[in-house]
Structure 1
Amino acid sequence: MMHYFVGDLGHLFVITSFIAAIASAFSYFRSTGAASLDLKDQWRKNGAVAFYVHATAVLGICVTLFIIIYNHYFEYHYAYSHSDRNLPLHYLISTFWNGQEGSFLLWMFWQAALGLVLIFTNRFWEAPVMTVFGLVQAFLASMILGVVIPGLDFRIGSSPFILLREVMQNAPIFVSNPEFIPNDGTGLNPLLQNYWMVIHPPTLFLGFASTLVPFSFCLAGLWLKKYREWVRPALPWALFGGAVLGLGILMGGYWAYETLNFGGYWNWDPVENGIYVPWLILVASIHTMITYKNSETALKASIILVIAVFVLVLYATFLTRSGVLGDSSVHSFTDLGLSGQLLVYLGFFLFGAIILSIVRWKEIPSSDKEVSTYSREFWIFVGTLVICLMGFQVLLPTSIPAWNKFVGFLGFSSNMAPPADQIYFYTKFQLWFAVAIALLSAVGQFFWWKKMDVRQLGKELLMPFIITLVAFVVILQVMVSFYSSEAINARYLIILFSALFTVIANGKILLSLLKSSPGLSGGAVAHIGVGMMLIGMMFSSGYSKVVSLNNTGLLYSREASEEYNRENLLLFINEPRTMAGYKIEFKGERLEPRWKSGYLNPNDVEFIEDPYRVVAKRDIQYNGRKLFNAKDTIEIFPENKYYEVQLVSQGGGKHTLYPRIQDNPTMGVAASPDIKRDLSKDLYAHIVDLNDPEKAEWSKTEEIKVAALQEFFANDYVAVLEKVERIFSIGNTKLDSADVAVKALIRVKGEYEEYLAEPIFIIRNRMVGRIPDEIKDLGVRLTLMNIHPETGQFSIGIDTRQKDWIVLKAFEKPLINVLWIGTLVLMIGFGIAIVRRSREFKKMKEKGLE
């Protein structure tokens, strides 16, 4: 049965949200320009009501789309393309924003929520700010409108409520049966089946949405000629956006580290860059806004940067959703025909903001005060310049595909290509920018709190410098004992020293602030977090140690490079290898333990012979309540596969890792790592390649005659026929009295343990049957071929194949926890600053100054 109503209702909500957003923007625009207070208030109320209708319609779109996904209405293209019946609830939620239409909707939802907050919290700025909000929401609603202009064959937006048959109308199944509904969907990309992807995109889009608030205040200030006043209400929102967007980026980095198999947390992918650059510029704008608020300088710089942040968010949206990056990024969306709309969206706000700024530029006040080298304004300017150059260096190469498209559109050709080795290219520049930022944040903080000359600055920095030098020498001595002299290069030492210096210098500032004004400590805390992140990045990336070193002399691939063969270890099942301080052993394939409501941690269960059951090793909780007791048997629904790998260090520490293989019929095979964490390092391993036992080629059967207790060779392993006994049932099937069945017990001595094979020979209804038994660990299949009572011998058939194997890459990631702790400290610093600026703005409102 087709479920038309919910889709039609959802589409009605989309149209309503679009019209209501335009009505709200128009009403607020009229309110801003109205001469009389009564007319101004009347239009403002109309605008607010229209925005309430818009927000309600957006919520309605979300509810109807989720109903389609949750109830598996696969007649709708969105549900069919992004979900299936096997997904647990939390992954069904993440399919909501897996597609372009859903991600636009998520963006709309957050901006609608922020708009409601602004309506209820800031009456003075409501009309001009919400005018901008309404226009932005109208553009976003148009992206999911899915309306075709009659006579022009032009479609506005891509609807999430379009039917599958409308997308695949030429498919034979829909030609013959228009009412056809697939039984299941194509499923969620295996790499997105991770709990971080349930929370990372909403956080990221909340960060995108929050950049609209300071942008709207900025345009409102230019519009109303309130050139100074807009900064104070915009600053807490800029801080909020910086914190949330930064948190979203860091979540994405952790997701990549935990899910992808390139061995890191940042790959400098163009989509990653498209998020990173606006965040950098947002951080720069926060500093210039704070500078202006404290000393009335850098107002024009604040205006430029705040506008640039929102425009860069729109530019990143165009890059990732227009198909421009299709050949250079694995994260970008394909073009849904929205590239023209996205360009209009970008151009409208880019040129609108530029024109308004140009018109008002001469009227914008600027300070004539000379900026001293020993002033906080100078150091903020230098720091802002470095951050902007940092973003500019990433933005230009990332934009090469867009530039090539633009040149091609003009009828010319461009041979520019993005960097082949993205990590090396960007890192070699960004590291030095990071060093500069660390040093500037260390020195600049002292100017921020005190007016000083060069002599006083030297006194203030002397103690932090001495402590940094002592800590640096101690850490260097430890590094010398752990790493070779070649590994300790000058670049890493400079990064380490500058990061330590910013942590210790800002630590001194923090201690003094905690004694007098703890609420002012947000900047110092955030800078300490940045320094810790640099230390964690330097050690975890620069001193990452490959422990899967191939010292066996066996080449995994003759076509691959020497480095590839050296760092990827071929492991046959139950054949341990010792290298780089670890004994590494592949223990075999394990089916993924998924129960009816979610996935189980493989370290919490014991895999048994029954592939559809596991035993709990300990009490297991889910969503705060206990579901299973230790030793409970749990029925599972195996889908994907884990591969159990044991690593035993020289110190005796035993680590069991379960790198994961996800096999999706549509998406293909995806490998994800497993990680064992301790305070000093992470042990990180992933599968590079593996064999498929089901596709293994068996040798031609070798048949030999043996007597009881006689030894023989099976695939180079010593085997002995211990006995042959009659049996009266096979599995749960009992045999008739006329049937004859015997079972051979053959013990095979592997290299590290013994195995028992039990092939069966049966005569039933005067027909001979044979049930072989395979020892998967050895790649041996044994068959009881025949019985020779006249000689007391038995014919044993031996088939062999290559043993199960994997190619493993394993790392030690030293001090990576310093990176993650640094991100937490950075977020705490943002939080302290947000609270302080919000309280400050609230006090100004209470005094009637805002």
Structure 2
Amino acid sequence: MINTLIGDIGHTSVIVAFVAAIVSSYAYFMASRAKVELSGDDSWRKMGRWSFYVHSVAVMMIIFTLFNIIYEHRYEYYYAWSHSSNHLPVHYMISSFWEGQEGSFLLWIFWHVVLGVVLINSSKKNKVWEAPVMGMFSFVQLFLTSMILGIVIGDLKIGSSPFILMRDFMPDTPVFAMDPNFVPADGTGLNPLLQNIWMVIHPPTLFLGFAATLVPFAFAMAGLWKGKFHEWIKPALPWSHFAAVSLGIGTVMGAYWAYVTLNFGGYWNWDPVENAVYIPWLVLVGAIHTMIAYNRGKSGLKASFILIISSFILILYATFLTRSGILGNASVHSFTDLGLSGQLFTYLAAFAVLAIGLLLYRWKSIPTSDKELTTYSGEFWVFIGAIVLCLAAFQVLFTTSIPVYNSFLGFIGIESNAALPADQIEHYTKFQLWGGVAIAVLTGVGQLLWWRKGEKGSFVDAITLPSMLTLLFASLIIVLSKMGMLHETMDNPIFIILLVASLFAVFANMSIILSLLHKKITLSGGAVAHIGVALMLLGILFSSGYDNIISQNNSGLVYSREFPEEINRDNVLLWRNTAVDMDRYSVSYHGQFQEVIGVPGYVNRELLWPTADPYTSIARGQIKVGDKVYFETGDTLAMYSPENTFYEVQYKEREGDRTFTLYPRAQVNPNMGLLASPDIKHFANMDLYTHVSSIPDPNEEKDWGDLQEYELAVGDTIILNDYVAVFNGVEQIAQVPGVALEEGDVAVQADLKIYGERKDYHAHPVLMVKNQLMGRVPEEIADLGLRLTFLNIDTENNKFKIGVNTSQKDYIILKAVEKPFVNILWIGTIVMSVGFVMAIVRRKDGGAKARPAAPKEKRKVQAA
């Protein structure tokens, strides 16, 4: 009998959270009215606060119940069945929690709850912001909670519940017609590409960034609503930094996941889902700069409103893009449509109309400065930088939204077949590269002018040393590349310009840090962040602009006419145990390995006897690493992920002593084809990125040659597929892996020693009599392309008949790419994040004192 109690608790909690969000948003709205504030009545605010607490408790209960359904393998619920399975470790169960749309919405809701509680408690000393800010928070929660409500009223569907039963989700399935209480024995499991540790930490970090963008948006809306047009900047600025660093780190984590998991050979593919996160981050960073400019010079307030509002609306637009199904085949990892596209559009439209309408209504009341920005003022270059960031975001937004244009035109009856660029990487890069150049130059020039007096002479003095160092180091790098001391000659003028601009940004900001050392260290947070950005640009320049495919096919052979040209051209064919020269390496493939629970590293498949349960194997010999024995022959082993195979690839420098081994992973998925993940050898100056492009189909029966029979006596020597083999005899065995021997059953195994090129092999084909029937368990040696079968025993002549089939040896087709100086990209990310954190600490402590406003500005503010 199906137990629906846990699901009922979860669904009830969703309803409670939804109602509590309605009550909280209404109560906070009432508390924000002018007459309530003037009367000193605190009852509405307290109601809003406690309603939000109730909402928070209900959300935690939803999370608990959904994870319980996954953890306890309650496959009567569709969410657990479609995202989890019996053998997932706990950390991947956590990943499966947010693999589906409902779980990802719940993760977003959770972070809003955490941030909301923090805001409520931080507002107790200064209650002026709590009601309007939390009113906006609760209103957003109302919409988000509705996404998991799962209520159908007539033809109207509100949300998709994660607590729906299988029999309700698939009522027409025959098995439920026969047995409504049927529960599957196992789930379909987590997407293999998501079974990576980065998928445990990347989504929560990214969604924290999504959620954190609401905080400055809520302050901006509260400022417009209450007429506090500039007061909102101070409390919103640290939160803006926090949102930017969370969103930035989350995005880079996703890039690193792609780098170590996917096989397109990089960390960024300009996929629409990647773009949908990149766009609001650029706009948010632009907003931070205009807010800082206002803090200092009282200019840029309207721009700050526009950019903060835009960053949040773009987050909602990204949600619509990735979850409505509108991208269709345009993205490799967008969510499918759950029938919520109309609801998502309503969510987006509601806040876009509310925010833009309120901004337009208050536009003339927002104070402006008559101060003229000169070319040598830091604020001027901050605005230029913000404009460049927004232009870069707009270019990506315009192209990414092509499916939206088509859908909209189709909705109004106009047919449109506009397509995304055929080569999206080339399309985006040619624009974004120049944006990177501009940003690098502006981060240097802007910082020098920001911290120096706005005078031409002072600026010339400040820029001289960074410029000289830039020219020196850029020249040195270019000369070294031409001398062959770098991976490739730098002769692309655009890349040279980006190199010079990025180096200038590094040295200019380093000079700022050195000049601020005698002051408060957190003052240099901006300069540190800018150095991080410049290092990221350098890392991208070298790792993407000068990556080097070393696995060129120089054999003159076409591996298969069915393969794309790229595989035939940029990959090497490796026969098992046969070395091939590849660039400066001698490379060889040495077999298939798997992960065994309790054994570090990987175990050779030759030592694993499969059983009917794919997650269980039997040891065919000692399993040991170094001198430590982990399992003895005949022990039962638990497999970690039997669908994954790791291919041992050994690299040896042809003109050196360096040798190392990589284990790229691959599996043949019935629904997704070959899923290959790279293994990466990290060096100080580069990464060697190796992945499998093709393997023999493991589901295809091998094409074995005709059976050759040999009658052997103990000690006989024969030639098998060009290898010498010695027959050492037979012995009786008490157990056969995968076969239960009973009293009266007999099993014997032959022992043949085969001398291979690199090592010797022992083959043990089995002959048994079970239930008075003869059975045979052949031995396959994939390294040598041999299958040996113990056919019979001639007891009178003391002879033993062995059958041998030969086949094509095992092979893989491999791609290897050198990624020079990619570590600079990851280091730059860390440095940028440190700079953002320093800025948060500085703003939290009060930040830099703004210069007092001019009398005319004060009169304008009072008049407004």
* 1:250 equivalent in alignment to 2:252: yes
Per-residue CA deviations over 1:366-405 (Å, capped at 9, x if unaligned) read: 1111111111121111111110010011001100011101
Q: Alpha-carbon deviation of 1:793?
A: 8.2
* 1:801 equivalent in alignment to 2:791: no
2:693 corresponds, among 662, 665, 688, to 688
Cα distance in structure 1, aligned partners of 2:746 and 2:61:
69
User: What SS is found at the alignment partner of 2:367?
Assistant: coil
Whether contact under 8 Å (1:606, 1:616) holds in the other structure is no
Is the alpha carbon distance of 1:34 and 1:382 closer, same or farther for their aligned partners in structure 2, counting shifts above 3 Å? closer
Is the alpha carbon distance of 1:8 and 1:794 closer, same or farther for their aligned partners in structure 2, counting shifts above 3 Å? closer
Cα distance in structure 2, aligned partners of 1:330 and 1:168:
26
Is the alpha carbon distance of 1:744 and 1:72 closer, same or farther for their aligned partners in structure 2, counting shifts above 3 Å? closer
Cα distance in structure 2, aligned partners of 1:832 and 1:656:
41
Q: Alpha-carbon deviation of 1:141?
A: 0.8
Q: Alpha-carbon deviation of 1:204?
A: 0.6
User: What SS is found at the alignment partner of 1:552?
Assistant: coil
Aligned twin of 1:551: 554
Cα distance in structure 2, aligned partners of 1:484 and 1:813:
9
Is the alpha carbon distance of 1:166 and 1:425 closer, same or farther for their aligned partners in structure 2, counting shifts above 3 Å? same
Cα distance in structure 2, aligned partners of 1:769 and 1:129:
77
* 1:776 equivalent in alignment to 2:782: yes
Aligned twin of 2:43: 42
Whether contact under 8 Å (2:487, 2:820) holds in the other structure is no
Aligned twin of 1:57: 58
Whether contact under 8 Å (1:532, 1:821) holds in the other structure is yes
Aligned twin of 2:529: 526
Q: Alpha-carbon deviation of 1:719?
A: 2.9
Is the alpha carbon distance of 1:701 and 1:525 closer, same or farther for their aligned partners in structure 2, counting shifts above 3 Å? same
Q: Alpha-carbon deviation of 1:107?
A: 0.6
- The residue type paired with residue 533 of structure 1 is M
Q: Alpha-carbon deviation of 1:99?
A: 0.6
Cα distance in structure 2, aligned partners of 1:301 and 1:13:
41
Q: Alpha-carbon deviation of 1:746?
A: 4.6
Range with bigger deviation, 484-493 or 226-235: 484-493
Cα distance in structure 2, aligned partners of 1:157 and 1:232:
37
Range with bigger deviation, 372-381 or 287-296: 372-381
Cα distance in structure 2, aligned partners of 1:663 and 1:707:
42
Per-residue CA deviations over 1:4-41 (Å, capped at 9, x if unaligned) read: 11111111111111111111111111111141444642
User: What SS is found at the alignment partner of 1:374?
Assistant: coil
Aligned twin of 1:602: 601
Aligned twin of 2:18: 18
Aligned twin of 1:621: none
Per-residue CA deviations over 1:102-160 (Å, capped at 9, x if unaligned) read: 111111111111111111112111111111111100000111111111xx321111011
Q: Alpha-carbon deviation of 1:707?
A: 7.9
- The residue type paired with residue 434 of structure 2 is W
- The residue type paired with residue 671 of structure 1 is A
Structure 1, unaligned stretches of length 5 or more? Answer: 619-628, 845-850
* 1:451 equivalent in alignment to 2:449: no
Aligned twin of 2:174: 172
Whether contact under 8 Å (1:728, 1:735) holds in the other structure is no
Q: Alpha-carbon deviation of 1:724?
A: 5.8
CA RMSD, aligned part only?
2.9
Cα distance in structure 2, aligned partners of 1:443 and 1:601:
52
Task: Give TM-score scaled by structure 2 length.
Answer: 0.90
- The residue type paired with residue 82 of structure 2 is S
Range with bigger deviation, 533-542 or 320-329: 533-542
Whether contact under 8 Å (2:576, 2:590) holds in the other structure is yes
Aligned twin of 1:71: 72
Cα distance in structure 1, aligned partners of 2:769 and 2:363:
98
User: What SS is found at the alignment partner of 1:327?
Assistant: helix
Cα distance in structure 1, aligned partners of 2:665 and 2:399:
34
* 1:128 equivalent in alignment to 2:143: no
Range with bigger deviation, 59-68 or 304-313: 59-68
* 1:311 equivalent in alignment to 2:313: yes
Cα distance in structure 2, aligned partners of 1:590 and 1:836:
52
User: What SS is found at the alignment partner of 1:420?
Assistant: coil
Whether contact under 8 Å (2:478, 2:489) holds in the other structure is no
Cα distance in structure 1, aligned partners of 2:831 and 2:244:
14
User: What SS is found at the alignment partner of 2:518?
Assistant: helix
Q: Alpha-carbon deviation of 1:432?
A: 1.1
Aligned pairs, how many?
825
- The residue type paired with residue 242 of structure 1 is A
User: What SS is found at the alignment partner of 1:84?
Assistant: coil
Is the alpha carbon distance of 1:759 and 1:2 closer, same or farther for their aligned partners in structure 2, counting shifts above 3 Å? closer
- The residue type paired with residue 834 of structure 1 is I
Cα distance in structure 2, aligned partners of 1:606 and 1:744:
22
Per-residue CA deviations over 1:249-272 (Å, capped at 9, x if unaligned) read: 011111111111111111111000
- The residue type paired with residue 186 of structure 2 is D
Per-residue CA deviations over 1:271-323 (Å, capped at 9, x if unaligned) read: 00000000000000000000001001011100000000000000000000000
Q: Alpha-carbon deviation of 1:338?
A: 0.5
Range with bigger deviation, 182-191 or 804-813: 804-813
Cα distance in structure 2, aligned partners of 1:544 and 1:265:
13
Aligned twin of 1:847: none
Q: Alpha-carbon deviation of 1:686?
A: 1.1
Cα distance in structure 2, aligned partners of 1:29 and 1:232:
23
User: What SS is found at the alignment partner of 1:30?
Assistant: helix
Aligned twin of 1:661: 666
Aligned twin of 1:675: 680
Is the alpha carbon distance of 1:842 and 1:601 closer, same or farther for their aligned partners in structure 2, counting shifts above 3 Å? farther
Q: What does residue range 8-407 of structure 1 map to in structure 2 within 5 Å?
A: 8-36=8-36, 37-38=38-39, 40-122=41-123, 123-149=127-153, 152-407=154-409
Aligned twin of 1:622: none
Cα distance in structure 1, aligned partners of 2:294 and 2:604:
61
User: What SS is found at the alignment partner of 2:35?
Assistant: coil
- The residue type paired with residue 8 of structure 1 is D
Is the alpha carbon distance of 1:593 and 1:785 closer, same or farther for their aligned partners in structure 2, counting shifts above 3 Å? closer
Cα distance in structure 2, aligned partners of 1:73 and 1:739:
42
- The residue type paired with residue 662 of structure 2 is L
Cα distance in structure 2, aligned partners of 1:771 and 1:19:
65
Aligned twin of 1:626: none
- The residue type paired with residue 577 of structure 1 is V
Cα distance in structure 2, aligned partners of 1:734 and 1:79:
35
Structure 2, unaligned stretches of length 5 or more? Answer: 610-616, 851-864
Per-residue CA deviations over 1:525-584 (Å, capped at 9, x if unaligned) read: 001101111111111112222232223333222244554323111111111111111111
Whether contact under 8 Å (1:675, 1:682) holds in the other structure is yes
* 1:590 equivalent in alignment to 2:586: no
Cα distance in structure 2, aligned partners of 1:768 and 1:94:
49
- The residue type paired with residue 94 of structure 2 is I
Whether contact under 8 Å (2:731, 2:750) holds in the other structure is no
Whether contact under 8 Å (2:490, 2:496) holds in the other structure is no
Q: Alpha-carbon deviation of 1:237?
A: 0.5
Cα distance in structure 2, aligned partners of 1:258 and 1:807:
19
- The residue type paired with residue 539 of structure 1 is F
Aligned-residue identity in percent: 52
User: What SS is found at the alignment partner of 1:755?
Assistant: strand
Is the alpha carbon distance of 1:119 and 1:765 closer, same or farther for their aligned partners in structure 2, counting shifts above 3 Å? closer
Q: Alpha-carbon deviation of 1:769?
A: 6.2
Cα distance in structure 2, aligned partners of 1:843 and 1:51:
35
Cα distance in structure 2, aligned partners of 1:606 and 1:729:
23
Q: Alpha-carbon deviation of 1:519?
A: 1.8
Is the alpha carbon distance of 1:344 and 1:484 closer, same or farther for their aligned partners in structure 2, counting shifts above 3 Å? closer
Q: Alpha-carbon deviation of 1:602?
A: 2.1
Q: Alpha-carbon deviation of 1:326?
A: 2.0
1:426 corresponds, among 425, 428, 433, to 428
Cα distance in structure 1, aligned partners of 2:13 and 2:743:
73
Whether contact under 8 Å (2:452, 2:458) holds in the other structure is no
- The residue type paired with residue 822 of structure 2 is I
Is the alpha carbon distance of 1:703 and 1:457 closer, same or farther for their aligned partners in structure 2, counting shifts above 3 Å? same
Cα distance in structure 2, aligned partners of 1:265 and 1:308:
27
Is the alpha carbon distance of 1:739 and 1:256 closer, same or farther for their aligned partners in structure 2, counting shifts above 3 Å? closer
Q: Alpha-carbon deviation of 1:685?
A: 1.1
* 1:839 equivalent in alignment to 2:819: no
- The residue type paired with residue 489 of structure 1 is N
User: What SS is found at the alignment partner of 1:798?
Assistant: strand
Task: Give TM-score scaled by structure 1 length.
Answer: 0.91
